[in-house]
Structure 1
Amino acid sequence: MNASAPRLTRLLIIEPDPALGQALQQHLNGCGHRITLCESGRDGLAAARAGEFDLVVLEAMLPGVGGAGLLEMLLEARPEQGAMPVILVSAHDGEQQRIEGLRRGADDYLAKPFSFDELEARISAILRRVALERLRWRWPAREGQHQCGELRFCRDTKTVALAGQPLALTETEFRLLYALCTHCDQILSKAFLYQTVLLRRFGRHDRALDLHVSHLRRKLSAVGGEDRWLRTVWGQGYMFSFGQA
């Protein structure tokens, strides 16, 4: 029996310069990636919402919505799959631009003009890191279900029920609630939750985790849970507890 061919890495490139975009597409195709190329932020966002990508290469100075605004929308484009890693590229190489891009949630920042080989090396490094971080997500051995108070988690269906009432959770929300419940009554830092749940680095101005927490509180309340179970510990992180606040 022949071994299965390795899956091609799916990359989304959002680059308004047609010549550069096509050159990038040709080079990265040759490196074994499957490329979707978009020249506008609108088309790039639509592609991200419709498809599944392992990484995005995004021009930071897009006309219209702008790379910074588009970056935030890309990070939430497919919440059920977790945030996609993003490499920002830009002709602006000032320290402030790099810091702002990373704070907004980018995984890397590369100044133009850049070597295509360097871009490929950075893509490979990020994909290796993401793969290793995903290996950290572990369910207890030989357990198909996990109980926390009245919450019952099912590994096979990635579902949670509260006193028999199912919660309509995305995969990211499932991982977040499971991480919090398996560390019940413990404060989990945002940095830890970003690494283990959102599978990326924590940026001080990144609000993606806060959004997931807000959605999770609302969904718990909808099936009879209480907001106070999922607590914000200011300056430290989040804690799940069935005890009194």
Structure 2
Amino acid sequence: MLANHLRQHLTRRGFEVTLCSGLDSDINLQAWKTFDLILMDILLPGRNGLQLLNELRRGFTVPVILMSALGAEQDRIIGFSQGADDYLPKPFSLGEMDVRIDAVLRRVAYERKALALGKNEPTSQRKNVRQEIRLGEVMVSFTAVEYRLMELLLAHPGEVLSKAFLYQRVLHRAFTQQDRVLDMHVSHVRRKLAAIGFSAQVETVWGKGYVLRAVTP
């Protein structure tokens, strides 16, 4: 029922949707590489979505958004460590799903554009490719790491995101207590938000992580 509901909604948005259910060990993942995006439930009939995602990531880069009633942070971290691009905990609204889908597709488009530009630049300059986000009426330029951090914070306003979670999603590595690299990037983002007078700021929640909260007048 959920799959059919999502298909109807996404079709109305202009997507061409293919439903897959009852996956078994003989599934041909080669056909999946042509998709622009995969919405994958973790608890699949006959297969575990995380195992399937792991197999998919061995040879393909198609973006994947996981869907699951297992919405605890540790479950999300496991999903991201397996290569998920985002995680939709059930129940979720169609509006939230649309925002997550658009954000992932936008990021993939930016990354492909940056990769294409980087191929035409000297190697020493490729790491300096920057990306922009419109915040209010202003376009703000971010490094690739800052961009991933801002996308996560904007997708989860008011939600405390732990360092373990952010390290997996933003820096693509595990968190250790001695590692302060994320703190440095958060500091850079804070200065950029303050410089444009943005209506929200990144706050530190001691012992937990970071949260994007509206600035109190």
Considering fraction of residues, name the structure with more helix.
2
Once residues 123 and 44 of structure 1 are traced to their aligned partners in structure 2, the CA distance between those partners, rounded to angstroms, is 28
AA paired with 1:54? D
Once the 2 structures are TM-superposed, how far is the Cα of residue 119 of structure 1 from its aligned partner? 0.7
Using a 3 Å threshold, how does the CA distance of structure 1 residues 98 and 44 change in structure 2: closer, same or farther?
A: farther
TM (norm. structure 2) is: 0.53
**Equivalent residue, structure 1, for 2:105:** 127
Using a 3 Å threshold, how does the CA distance of structure 1 residues 99 and 72 change in structure 2: closer, same or farther?
A: same
Assess if the C-alpha contact under 8 Å between 1:38 and 1:44 holds in 2.
no
**Equivalent residue, structure 1, for 2:21:** 39
Pair 1:55-2:37 in alignment? yes
Once residues 26 and 75 of structure 2 are traced to their aligned partners in structure 1, the CA distance between those partners, rounded to angstroms, is 22
Using a 3 Å threshold, how does the CA distance of structure 1 residues 23 and 43 change in structure 2: closer, same or farther?
A: farther
Unaligned runs of 5+ in 2: 125-143, 149-168, 175-217
**Equivalent residue, structure 1, for 2:50:** 68
AA paired with 1:36? T
Using a 3 Å threshold, how does the CA distance of structure 1 residues 49 and 130 change in structure 2: closer, same or farther?
A: same
TM (norm. structure 1) is: 0.47
Once residues 25 and 43 of structure 1 are traced to their aligned partners in structure 2, the CA distance between those partners, rounded to angstroms, is 25
Using a 3 Å threshold, how does the CA distance of structure 1 residues 203 and 45 change in structure 2: closer, same or farther?
A: farther
Once the 2 structures are TM-superposed, how far is the Cα of residue 40 of structure 1 from its aligned partner? 2.5
Using a 3 Å threshold, how does the CA distance of structure 1 residues 203 and 64 change in structure 2: closer, same or farther?
A: farther
Assess if the C-alpha contact under 8 Å between 1:90 and 1:110 holds in 2.
yes
The alignment partner of 2:7 has SS state of helix
Using a 3 Å threshold, how does the CA distance of structure 1 residues 43 and 28 change in structure 2: closer, same or farther?
A: farther
Once residues 59 and 44 of structure 1 are traced to their aligned partners in structure 2, the CA distance between those partners, rounded to angstroms, is 18
AA paired with 1:204? R
Task: Say which one has the larger Rg.
Answer: 1
Higher relative contact order (CA 8 A, sep 6+): 1
* 1:154-233 aligned within 5 A: 182=123, 203-204=172-173
Using a 3 Å threshold, how does the CA distance of structure 1 residues 202 and 38 change in structure 2: closer, same or farther?
A: farther
